[in-house]
Structure 1
Amino acid sequence: MKVKSFSKQQAGFTLIELVVVIVILGILAVTAIPRFTDMSKDARIAAVNGMLGTVQSASSIAHAQALVSNQNAATGTITMEGQTVDLVNGYPSTATGIRLALTSTGFGGTAGSFTLTGAPTPASCAVTYAQPAALNGSPTISSVTTGC
């Protein structure tokens, strides 16, 4: 005669195991949340850097079109995307030309200043453009991200 032995098999997790897993997930969440909340500042800085590239590109394209159109004089105009862009020394003017040479969604400001809308300190989260002072000069384009 054979005797069968039945062993007790565990089905599922114990309460201690579940509590340990929940505690570990809580610790991971507490350390990860600050990293994700800081990403908004990085996104604003990236937007300003993108606008810096956009202003540089628009200025270069306008200058190239001015050279092709023989508009490298002290003043003149070119047409870009249906907009009449004022030129000073062969580049878009600070007053109105650079704003018409590009599309700036999400940025405000006046004249040659492009400030990021919604930044904590918009004046310190911006791109600035200044037309060249001389005929064969280059425009001054810079960004500041300390207030992003």
Structure 2
Amino acid sequence: MKRQGGFTLIELVVVIVILGILAVTAAPRFLNLQSDAREASLQGLKGAIQGAAGIVYGKAAIEGSETAVSGSIENIDVVYGYPAASTTGIGAAVVGLSDTSEWQVSGGANTAGASIQYTFTGTNPNWNCAVTYTAPSTSGAAPTVTTATADDC
């Protein structure tokens, strides 16, 4: 009778269990999905802020108030036609930014050149993982919107 060389069922089960343990412990380090999701959310917020700023500026241009240092359009505080860097400016222009269960805010003022920051709500907010909106400082200038995404986002 020939003797066949192969793996026993127990050896195969042990190898599968070891591979499963390695996958559970090593995969999260290589697949940093939470950080990627946070960065994608910040990029989405940046796009929403830029879109809202453009729409508000269009409305200000139609009304002829795009060169005014300050004002209000549709209950949104504006600076040179763009939303002010405040909760009553860009915070009112973007739907959902006033939801304190999702976003935490820092800074903000209804003046030219002011900045406001939004990050995820938490007990210890990470301001290295945020979107910053800066109102224009002069007539004809556009606001700036930047995202800061650290490795620990």
8 Å contact from structure 2 (residues 43, 147) kept in 1: yes
Distance 1:59-1:27 versus aligned 2 partners, 3 A rule: same
Q: % of aligned pairs identical?
A: 29
Of 20, 28, 52, the residue aligned with 2:46 is: 52
Task: Say how many residue pairs are matched.
Answer: 131
Q: What secondary structure sits across from 2:73 in the alignment?
A: strand
Distance 1:39-1:78 versus aligned 2 partners, 3 A rule: same
Judge which range, 69-78 or 24-33, deviates more.
24-33
8 Å contact from structure 1 (residues 85, 98) kept in 2: yes
Q: Which residue of the partner structure matches residue 113 of structure 2?
A: none
CA distance in 2, matches of 1:115, 1:102: 14
Of 128, 134, 137, the residue aligned with 1:130 is: 134
TM-score if structure 2 supplies the norm length? 0.73
- Structure of larger gyration radius: 1
TM-score if structure 1 supplies the norm length? 0.75
Unpaired segments ≥5 residues, structure 1: 1-12
Q: What secondary structure sits across from 2:49 in the alignment?
A: helix
State the Cα distance separating 1:119 from its structure 2 match: 8.3
CA distance in 2, matches of 1:15, 1:129: 60
State the Cα distance separating 1:121 from its structure 2 match: 4.7
CA distance in 1, matches of 2:43, 2:123: 14
Distance 1:28-1:92 versus aligned 2 partners, 3 A rule: closer
Q: What secondary structure sits across from 1:134 in the alignment?
A: coil
1:109 aligns with 2:105: yes
State the Cα distance separating 1:142 from its structure 2 match: 1.1
State the Cα distance separating 1:124 from its structure 2 match: 1.4
State the Cα distance separating 1:66 from its structure 2 match: 1.1
State the Cα distance separating 1:23 from its structure 2 match: 3.1
**Alpha-carbon displacement from aligned partner over 1:47-88 (angstroms, at most 9, x marks no partner):** 211111111111111111111222213132211xxxx01111
Q: Which residue of the partner structure matches residue 39 of structure 1?
A: 33
1:65 aligns with 2:59: yes
Distance 1:22-1:44 versus aligned 2 partners, 3 A rule: same
Unpaired segments ≥5 residues, structure 2: 1-7, 109-115
